[in-house]
Every structure is written in structure tokens, then in C-alpha cells.
Amino acid sequence: MNKFPLKISTPEGVKFDGGAVSLLVKCTEGDVEILAGHTDFVGTLATGRARVRSEDGNERYASISGGFIVVKGGEVMLATDAFEYADEIDIERARAAKENAERKIRNAANDVDLGRAEMKLKRALNRIKVYELK
């Protein structure tokens, strides 16, 4: 299969830099799979899972929380605040975060707190889900 250059960056470091044959991410409007030769594209990422198939046939799942994907001249850039491969996820922490968020949702005093807690819960659930894909 044809490959394309892919780079995945987070503030904590570069998570992927090399050739890939497929990248599946969840954008705000739904799943998007990028293959070699994709047209120029700009998308916003939602909290969700990503699947990276590298050129050596390795397939890995990862959790993503927000960010952007830009395809420009065949080159794919993905910038996100948090990108964790399934085997890197701290499952205990994610479970604790889930309980914490659920408690906050129950006790939320206003809409802002509720919104924040819901985002937290979403991220925690996403991590747990991706962990189980391992």
C-alpha cells in the first residue's frame, strides 16, 4: 500500500514521525480516514480514538483529546494536547478520573462546572475504551 509522511505532535513530545499507510481519527463531524494521496484537508479532532497503521504494517490504537489535523501536499500533521497509545494509558488513573468526574457531575452547582465535568468524564471514558482495544 502507498504510504504518506505523518507527524503527530503533543506539547509533551512527538508521538509519531514517519511513514504511515492509514490514519483513522474522529473529527467533530465523524470518523475520517486518511490514506496516501488524500486531498488537502483541515479538520478539528474530537475526543476519541485514533488508529495509526505504520508502513511496517504495525497497527496501534490511541486516545486523543481535541486538536487538529491538517493535510497539506500529501503531508499529514496532527496536533493534539494528549495522544496516548493504548498500552501507554494509565488505566488506574483513568478509572479514578471517571469516578471523580461522575461525582463532580452530581454536585455541579452551575452549567460551567457541569460542562467541564462532562468533558472530563468524556476523556476518561475514551481512555478506558481505548485501553480495552489493546
Partner 1 sequence: MAGASMNDIKARIKSVESTMQITKAMELVATSKLRRARERVEASRPFCTMLGKMIDTVKGVAPLAETGWFSANEGKTLFIMIAGDRGLAGGYNSNVFRLTEMLAGGKEAIYLPIGKKATEYLRHRGRELLLDYDILAGDVRVGTAHRLSRSVCDGYLEGKFTRVVLVYTKFQSMMTQLPVYEELLPLGGESTSDAAGDPIFEEEPEEMLERIVRHYVSGVIYSAVCESLASESGARRSAMNAANKNAGEMIDTLMLKFNRARQAVITQEITEIVSGAEAL
* Interface contacts to partner 1, rule CB under 8 A: 7, 9-14, 27-29, 32, 39-44, 67-68, 70-73, 77, 79, 81-82
- Determine the length of the chain: 134
Adjacent-strand bridge partners of 31: 26
Closest to partner 1 by CB, 48 vs 67, is: 67
Minimum CB separation of residue 25 from partner 1 in Å reads 11
* Residues contacting 84, CB < 8 A, separation 6+: 62, 63, 127, 130
Closest to partner 1 by CB, 9 vs 54, is: 9
Minimum CB separation of residue 57 from partner 1 in Å reads 26
Within a 10 A sphere around the Cβ of 99, how many other Cβ atoms? 11
Minimum CB separation of residue 42 from partner 1 in Å reads 5
Minimum CB separation of residue 132 from partner 1 in Å reads 25
Question: What are the C-alpha distances in Å from 84 to residues 80, 102, 111, 112?
Answer: 10, 22, 29, 27
User: Helices (DSSP H) in the chain: which residue ranges?
Assistant: 91-107, 111-133
Closest to partner 1 by CB, 19 vs 132, is: 19
Within a 10 A sphere around the Cβ of 49, how many other Cβ atoms? 18
Closest to partner 1 by CB, 113 vs 132, is: 113
